[in-house]
Chain A
Amino acid sequence: MAQPERETEQKDPDMASESGTDDEDEAPEEVTFSSAWEQASRRVREALETARRDKELLKEKRKRREKLFKEQKKRKQLPAEVLEELIAVPEMKDPVPDTTSGITTVQGEDQEAEEDDDNMENIIKPRMKGRYEAIRLKDQGETDQRTERAKAFINRRLYGPGRMRTNANEYYSLANKRDANKKGALQFVNKSWGKKQKEKARKLRKKWIKKHGIVPS
């Protein structure tokens, strides 16, 4: 008697999942309303609980992360005194750039800082007085890169492959060559340049003389 009972107990969950494939003939188990209600309410409660717990976990995680960020930020920041100094300056000075003083430059601490190069203590103070502008180095790098790219473009378009460019020697030697009174290439006529070529020519001449057995007079 006890065995078949256990069997039915074991089959029970199966019945719930696969609604009557092989136990179609069996009558549904009788469940009282109160127990079913209790079961359902428990399930709801459990679901709510898990949701709340997840939310709390997430919150905690977020909090932890924020804290970390704050710490990181603090670590990156300049020392407190420097910050105070920075905050204090705009109040004293008119933030509008002085048009009479010309363009603001990056290396504003030029004159005074330069003069007191060794004096480390004085560096901070004159730094605030100089005409300067704070820039993000990252942006500067980008600008430089773009400028370089633009320069490369113009260089490629004017002097790149297929642009039919020659060198100065060839260009200016044409006139000498076509002259009624013929002269050598410019690098040999003009004493001031073409040192390399001249050296090469001198060596070649020496070789040629040696090879042909001519004794230089």
Chain B
Amino acid sequence: MIDQIIFYTLAFIIVAMSLMVILARNAVRSALYLISALLGFAALYIRLQAELLAGVQILVYVGGIMVLFLFVIMLVSVRTMEHQARQTRQWKAAVVIALGVAAELIYLIVRGGSIFVTKQPPDALLTKSQNTQVVGEALYSTYLLPFEIASVLLLVAMIGAVVLAKKKI
């Protein structure tokens, strides 16, 4: 009972904040709402006993990435953006994508949760101090290849950004 109240409260906050991200006219306010939504996600992770993920979520997204977001937004003149037209030429494509996603979601809700195969992790994995260790071991054993590919991808993106931004190196 309490569990469900917590879940629905958090879900409501996250959905409301996510909506405000795209509805707010001012980019900095959008960033503020995004921060609130991300904090809501962190709370959801704690409820799922994924404390490490919650901590990393706050550290990386709220404390790191959002600071960079704000840094970029502040360099752009926000006041002029407020007066720009709300709809751009991309709205037709956006409608198609949104309808597609909505159809998928409705299908899933109608079919019920039975299509998802949930694998219950053994209880040993959920004991108190193991959280960090389990994630670390999984990353460096079972999922080593995806993990390394992701890191190489990030490195490529970083070098690409430097090359694109700086004409003379």
A and B: bona fide binding partners: no
